[in-house]
């Protein structure tokens, strides 16, 4: 059982990382192997919309998203973590979600957890956007942990938030152990039906 934590904060060892580490320690407690992938220092470029991945199953951009793709595919569950930036997720988080298009079908049945840190306001918009993406990927959603903290390390004071992050990690493993599988027969459509769609 492998659980991957993905921090989309550009701030090294900030609040998002602290909460993800706590979640991963919860996952370890349940017997999982864990890994944290954090974006600072990584070269992850935006999707260029070439659609080549639909033919090749692979993104042509050779950057640090390539090892992240491999880690995502190997994992049984992924905990996405992002701070709120301008009432939404960080740019880094959005770039990674966009690039996940190249994993078409390969995230199905993996458990998806979510940790969002806000200085003051804005947790709901990124929560909805990231959960929606998980649903489109046929992932199995676990809990959302929202915690308030502004300065680096502030979330350490939020004892209930730390506990909730720990429990999220445990829940990830327990959900994954149920080995839920969506029926493969039904595609999940990205588009509303219209004359230009197929
Ligand atoms: C560019 C920028 C925009 C931000 N926008 C918001 C916001 O809209 N709402 C909010 O509650 N906090 C906002 N924040 C505060 C961060 O969410 C907060 O500092 C958080 O703890 C950062 O998490 P980290 O330590 O993991 O980087 C913003 C911070 C930055 C740098």
> What digits encode the pLDDT tens for the residues 42-86?
999 999 999 999 999 999 999 999 999 999 999 999 999 999 999
88-91 long-range contacts, Cβ below 8 Å, gap at least 24?
A: 88/122, 88/125, 88/126, 88/129, 89/8, 89/116, 89/126, 89/129, 89/130, 90/8, 90/9, 90/10
Q: Which two tokens stand for residue 110?
A: 């993996």
Q: Whose CA is nearest to atom 3 of ligand 1?
A: 85
Percentage of the chain modeled with pLDDT above 70: 99
pLDDT at 188: 85
pTM, two decimals, is 0.97
Query: For ligand 1, is residue 126 a contact (CB within 6 Å)?
Result: no
pLDDT (average), residues 122-148: 97
Scan for tokens 């992050």, then name that residue: 165
Query: For ligand 1, is residue 91 a contact (CB within 6 Å)?
Result: no
SS3 102: helix
Pocket test for ligand 1, best of 119, 129, 158, 161 (most atoms within 8 A of CB): 119
Does residue 191 surpass a pLDDT of 80? no
Query: For ligand 1, is residue 32 a contact (CB within 6 Å)?
Result: no
The C-alpha atoms of residue 81 and residue 89 are separated, in whole angstroms, by 9
């Amino acid at each position: 059982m492998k659980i991957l934590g993905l921090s989309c904060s550009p701030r090294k060892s900030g609040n998002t990382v602290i909460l993800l580490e706590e979640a991963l320690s919860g996952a370890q407690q349940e017997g999982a192997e864990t890994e944290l992938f954090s974006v600072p220092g990584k070269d992850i470029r935006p999707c260029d919309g070439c659609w080549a991945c639909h033919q090749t199953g692979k993104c042509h951009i050779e950057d640090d998203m390539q090892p992240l793709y491999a880690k995502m595919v190997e994992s049984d569950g992924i905990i996405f973590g992002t701070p709120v930036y301008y009432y939404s997720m960080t740019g880094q988080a959005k770039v990674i979600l966009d690039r996940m298009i190249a994993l078409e079908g390969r995230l199905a049945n993996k458990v998806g957890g979510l940790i969002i840190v806000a200085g003051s306001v804005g947790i709901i918009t990124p929560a909805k956007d990231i959960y929606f993406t998980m649903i489109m990927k046929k992932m199995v959603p676990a809990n959302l942990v929202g915690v308030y903290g502004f300065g680096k390390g502030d979330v350490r004071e939020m004892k209930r938030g730390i506990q909730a992050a720990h429990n999220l990690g445990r829940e990830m493993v327990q959900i994954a152990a149920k080995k839920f599988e969506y029926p493969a027969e039904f595609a999940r459509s990205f588009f509303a039906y219209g004359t230009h769609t197929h």
